Structure 1
């Protein structure tokens, strides 16, 4: 997995899915942050409509090109027409392209739309983490902290701590940032992520 050193975007996602003999469709999302082990989730559907939606998502995702507005429009149309896991995944893809184009408002809007489209806790966590990072780029630290509060599950502790520390530090709260990163170091995180958090703590004033 990639190690994300860019403070403006440490959350990235590699998405893929596959169908086996017309049976359950498995969707896997692997989040790599500082060599942290990923999380997977599965959403199973067997009807023809689901397979068609899967194929449509693959087509839209593969065609996405930030330099070609028509592909962005097509993805946005897919998101608005699919209030489900596929729509949420497409919103992640589309938000990434908007960030690359420095269209942060549009990226945030897509992630918010994706959050409304899925009830999967892990996918919601991914969407919220990326949204919090964008809000930091928009100088909206308080909004980012509120977004992080919506993420549930012990498995996300270290990643949340990382972004929370960045948000608090941007508000001038060095003590709060230290406490957040210390909590991340004390969690069941990868050694690489712990080392990154320790480096950030070491660079704090005082």
Structure 2
């Protein structure tokens, strides 16, 4: 059993934030640069570009269908050509469809590409968590642990503990798994996630 709700909520919140604040973000980048005339021209240009990128992202994301390879190709192309938050979000969307098709190597590569496209810590955390789960499916526990170490922020403690425990258990480290899940239970996690971690601890040998 896996819990994705916290990650999905973060992704939805990030999408909403950039949809509503694209103009403000564009303006903030160049405060203090250039004369008033240059500022007005640049602001107008960036605002238009941001809206266009956002609209294109919404289009390719909405059209994604794992049974239609051409929609995956279009979304992957958009992600590769946009080294920004929208490109990273597209990488998340494409990776999910690759997982649905059991193309784990492609999914992992897409997530790694998305990590290079954004500096937003929360979005990076979601990308890394998805990547760690895929690496777990690929039976690469050491890679999982390295990926989890790159995630910053106390809000991810319980979810990280969940995946870390699974990776350690797959290495035969029951003690390490117990310690990881105990840390997750002690964190500010949701009751459902704490209950799941407790069940996993209860099923450990010894």
TM range, smaller chain: 0.7 to 0.9
**Larger RCO (CA under 8 A, 6+ residues apart):** 1
Q: Based on CA coordinates, which of the two structures has the bigger radius of gyration?
A: 2
Q: Decide whether the 8 Å contact of 1:11 with 1:130 is kept in 2.
A: no
Aligned to 1:147: 147
Cα distance in 2 for partners of 1:10, 1:144 equals: 20
Cα distance in 2 for partners of 1:150, 1:6 equals: 21
Aligned to 1:71: 71
SS at match of 1:25: helix
Cα distance in 1 for partners of 2:166, 2:118 equals: 27
Cα distance in 2 for partners of 1:154, 1:187 equals: 9
Supply the RMSD in Å over aligned alpha carbons: 1.9
Residue pairs, 1:160-171, within 5 angstroms: 160-171=160-171
Aligned-residue offset at 1:88: 0.1
Cα distance in 1 for partners of 2:131, 2:6 equals: 10
Q: TM-score, normalised by structure 1?
A: 0.83
Residue pairs, 1:1-206, within 5 angstroms: 5-6=1-2, 13=8, 15=12, 16-17=15-16, 19=19, 24-25=21-22, 44-45=25-26, 47-206=47-206
Q: TM-score, normalised by structure 2?
A: 0.83
Aligned-residue offset at 1:191: 1.2
SS at match of 1:66: coil
- Residues 122 and 95 of structure 1: is their aligned pair in 2 closer, same or farther, counting only changes over 3 Å? same
Aligned-residue offset at 1:182: 0.2
Greater helix share, structure number: 2
Unmatched runs of 5 consecutive residues or more in structure 1: 27-42
Q: Decide whether the 8 Å contact of 1:17 with 1:25 is kept in 2.
A: no
Cα distance in 1 for partners of 2:172, 2:5 equals: 21
Structure 1 stretches of at least 4 aligned residues deviating more than 6 Å after TM superposition? none
* Count of equivalent residues: 182
SS at match of 1:17: helix
Aligned-residue offset at 1:45: 3.2
- Residues 6 and 191 of structure 1: is their aligned pair in 2 closer, same or farther, counting only changes over 3 Å? closer
Aligned-residue offset at 1:10: 7.8
Aligned-residue offset at 1:11: 7.4
The superposition leaves residues 136-165 of structure 1 with CA deviations (integer Å, 9 ceiling, x where unpaired) of 000100000000000011111111000000
